[in-house]
A and B are shown apart, each in its own frame.
Chain A
């Protein structure tokens, strides 16, 4: 199993530019999660999907952030326009369908720097 695959691994962009982060979950997993990690706030859940449908987006910081999951094997997190305070590591994670005790598996993260 290839695990959760994220791209790009590192991105540096200028303030105001659009940023698109991509995620391929583990095949067969029904849930997909987007997290953001900063030194100040730790690991925060932004949004999660079940069967490609957004279930809870209460962690999305503001309208500049949007996430989509057009199919079971692909999701994007967009920031438009980007700001320096969006600099963080963005993790995607996935988990199998609803069985008690199932855990989530993380990708290696996308390191975003907005200058």
Chain B
């Protein structure tokens, strides 16, 4: 499984864009990058995923580098409710197995 590396924590001012980086240098060609977040005491929540093209939805944008070795999750206008742990994971899909392996994530604190 491709491993991911994320900063342990980040701060962001309310109303500003939050840019959360993730390195996945060993990702293989058929593996997707997924982002989830976990607000305290809740189950992880899906945010967005992508293969190689940039993606955008109502929650966030995902920018994947051309070599696919890293990606950035962008929350365009962070609010206090975006304070959470953000997980970048790579879906292992070999031989029909579907393990979603979560690392330690980035603890994002949005400051008023």
Which residues on A are within 8 Å of B, measured CB to CB?
4, 31, 33, 35, 42-43, 45, 48, 50, 55-56, 91, 93, 95, 98, 100-101, 103-109
Contact = CB atoms under 8 A, between A and B. Distances in A.
Contacts of B46: 103-105
Contact of A101 (B42, B51, B97, B100): B51
B100 A45 contact: yes
Nearest to A3: B43
Interface string B32-75: 10100000001111100101000000000000000000000000
B49 A31 contact: no
Q: How would you classify the secondary structure of chain B's contact residues: helix, strand, loop or mixed?
A: loop
Interface in B6-37: 32, 34
Contacts of B99: 45, 48, 56
Contacts of A106: 43-45
A110 B101 CA distance: 20
Contacts of B34: 103
A101 B31 CA distance: 9
Nearest to A33: B100
A71 to B, nearest CB: 20
Contacts of B102: 35, 42-43, 45
A50 B46 CA distance: 20
Contacts of B105: 42
Interface string B61-97: 0000000000000000000000000010000000011
Contacts of A103: 34, 46, 49
